[in-house]
Chains A and B, each alone.
Chain A
Amino acid sequence: MGMGPVMNRPDEIPFGFDGKRLLARHGETVAEALYRNGIRTITRSLKFHRPRGLHCGNGDCPNCLANVNGIPNVRTCITQVEAGMVVRSQNRVISLRLDPMALLDHIYRRGLNYHHSFIRPTFLRDVYHRAIRRMTGIGELSQREIASKPTRRISSDVLIIGQDPSAYIIAAACAEKGMQTLLVSDHRLLRGAWIYRSGESCESTSSEIVRDIASVRERLRDHPHLHEIAHARTLGAFEDSGVAFMASDRIWTAKPRIVILAEGAREIPVRFANWDLPGILHETAARELMRAGIRLGERVVVTGISPRSNEIARMIVTGEMAHRAILLGAHSSSEVDEDRLLLLPEDWQLLRAIGRNRVRRIVITNGGSERKIATDCVVTCGRLIPRTDIARQLGCLISHGTDGIPRVHVDEGGGTSVRGVFAIGPCTGELDYVASKRAAVNIAEKMLDSLAEVESR
């Protein structure tokens, strides 16, 4: 579609979605811009063609994948919107709203076991397979050549991998101790701030983190020992070429003497039926929408782990957007504006979400009776799981706490089971920011010793 000039405010940029012309604000992501324009369903799921939209807001889930400028399967929640961008929904037959393939979801209510379905009679197997492959759009090829520059190798004493705020703190400590420091960060560095909390609230911790990072940035501007590659995503660890990451238009590889992991934690969904319906958001996505000044909905339901759910419910009703909200599983002590926030006590739990293309109602239960509540947005505060992807690839020992949640195992000095690999912050299960800061300084001290040891040999 053509993207001719349109009349718009100077801070608004035009883009297209499935043939519609829309306006976005500078700096927001494609998924945020669609949400601002009232579009909840971005695409459909691979197998049952269920409607999907913005969900995790962190690039971790498969719900908002769309075709952007001819490139399929782009994670729209972490892709910045640009003027003239052409966004298309995926995996839909006929239209995004009315997809006859979505009937599969109703026919196979108990799921579809492909070890036992579509295999008899055997002479039809090829026909079935061809049809099934056509149904799922994941094999779609890019219609555009992807510009890419040669892979570049970069050398340093220390490599810090992280989207957690502690990455910045430890990068500063290392650079100021004279180590050649490479920080590979992505644009979501500050999104990890809310994960940290001291006591009940994360708000004071978040502002402390913002202050710390601003002061570190100021202090280390043009520092000769610090090199930052921003907007980068780590691809993996390889035995021969070290750690590889992707930034803008090329792959970088680094084989440093010391690696520090500050990968943070990721949020997982709260389990209830139809949790994948558009309009159901992780806390991260909800916080990012509010920060961008986008209204979540008319009547927001908040559920999940307290005190995080208490805190976000309060943010929703006291913010500038004047939302009304319902908090499930509320603490009796919550001080709130009762006109705008309805509290339901802890014995009420979310059973299922209802809606054809987006959430319209939820069903809650207290064990005995069930109640239906009309809503257009549900915010879930799911469990926080340490990110262990790179640590596992590097061969670090992963320990499971009594809760069964995996985390990078570290000793008192922040060292992992692999020599020369350290870990810090929520990826080790540490959710206290002050403790993470203290660990950052300790690790930096210890590293000077390890480097000296390496050099003396």
Chain B
Amino acid sequence: MTRDEIADAIKRGYRDLESLKRYIGFGTGPCQGKQCIQFVREMLSEMGCEPGPGMTARPPIVPMPLAMVAQEEEHEEPV
């Protein structure tokens, strides 16, 4: 995503983090918003908008193989 794409979307009326995300899809790529959200937040503030609280990153926070999720739960282990 480029700076011009974000600026264009803000001009089209997507003036907070939540609706901008839905329009240009920032935060849905490989960084999952860890880096880009702060850029977009700054750009919104600079263009006189109220960014809002932003999104909650859903699990998994780090990428993981699906094979691991498919495993059953084994047993309980005390510390």
Which residues of the partner chain B approach A368 to less than 8 Å between Cβ atoms? none
Which residues of the partner chain B approach A65 to less than 8 Å between Cβ atoms? 30
Q: Are A115 and B23 in contact (CB under 8 A)?
A: yes
Q: Are B31 and A61 in contact (CB under 8 A)?
A: yes
Residue of B nearest to A226 (CB): B79
Q: Are A235 and B61 in contact (CB under 8 A)?
A: yes
Partner of B29, one of A62, A227, A269, A389: A62
Q: Are B76 and A153 in contact (CB under 8 A)?
A: yes
A58 to B38, CA, bound (A): 17
Residue of B nearest to A58 (CB): B34
Which residues of the partner chain B approach A139 to less than 8 Å between Cβ atoms? none
Partner of A46, one of B5, B30, B41, B51: B30
Number of interface residues of B (CB under 8 A): 45
Q: Are B59 and A235 in contact (CB under 8 A)?
A: yes
Q: Are A73 and B63 in contact (CB under 8 A)?
A: yes
Q: A46-B30, A152-B75 are in contact. List 9 more A-B contacts (CB 8 A).
A: A59-B62, A60-B34, A113-B9, A154-B77, A235-B59, A251-B64, A266-B35, A271-B42, A393-B57
Which residues of the partner chain A approach B65 to less than 8 Å between Cβ atoms? 71, 142, 146, 148
Taken residue by residue from 120 to 139, chain A's Cβ proximity to chain B (1 for < 8 Å, 0 otherwise) reads as 00000000000000000010
Query: B78 an interface residue at 8 Å Cβ cutoff?
Result: yes
Q: Are A60 and B35 in contact (CB under 8 A)?
A: yes
Q: Are A62 and B76 in contact (CB under 8 A)?
A: no
Partner of B30, one of A73, A180, A182: A73
Q: Are A151 and B74 in contact (CB under 8 A)?
A: yes
Instruction: Tell which of B35, B59, B71 has the most Cβ of chain A within 10 Å.
Output: B35
Q: Are A251 and B5 in contact (CB under 8 A)?
A: no
List A residues at the B interface (Cβ < 8 Å). Answer: 46-48, 56, 59-62, 65, 71, 73, 75, 109-113, 115, 138, 142, 145-146, 148-156, 180-182, 225-227, 233-238, 244, 246, 250-251, 253, 266, 268-269, 271, 383, 385, 389-390, 392-393, 398, 400, 404, 406
Could you show 19 A-B contacts with beta carbons less than 8 Å apart?
Answer: A47-B1, A56-B35, A60-B31, A110-B8, A113-B24, A146-B68, A148-B68, A150-B72, A150-B74, A151-B68, A154-B78, A155-B76, A182-B79, A234-B61, A246-B60, A246-B62, A250-B71, A266-B35, A393-B59
Which residues of the partner chain A approach B1 to less than 8 Å between Cβ atoms? 47, 111
Known interface pairs A152-B77, A154-B79, A155-B78; A392-B56 also in contact (CB < 8 Å) = yes
Partner of A148, one of B31, B45, B67: B67
Known interface pairs A73-B30, A246-B62; A268-B35 also in contact (CB < 8 Å) = yes
Partner of B8, one of A111, A180, A246: A111
Known interface pairs A62-B31, A182-B79, A385-B38; A153-B61 also in contact (CB < 8 Å) = no
A392 to B53, CA, bound (A): 11
Which residues of the partner chain B approach A153 to less than 8 Å between Cβ atoms? 73-77
Q: Are B71 and A149 in contact (CB under 8 A)?
A: yes
Q: Are A246 and B5 in contact (CB under 8 A)?
A: no
Partner of B59, one of A111, A237, A266, A404: A237
Which 7 residue pairs across A and B have the least CB separation, nearest first?
A236-B59, A62-B30, A111-B5, A150-B74, A235-B60, A111-B2, A392-B56
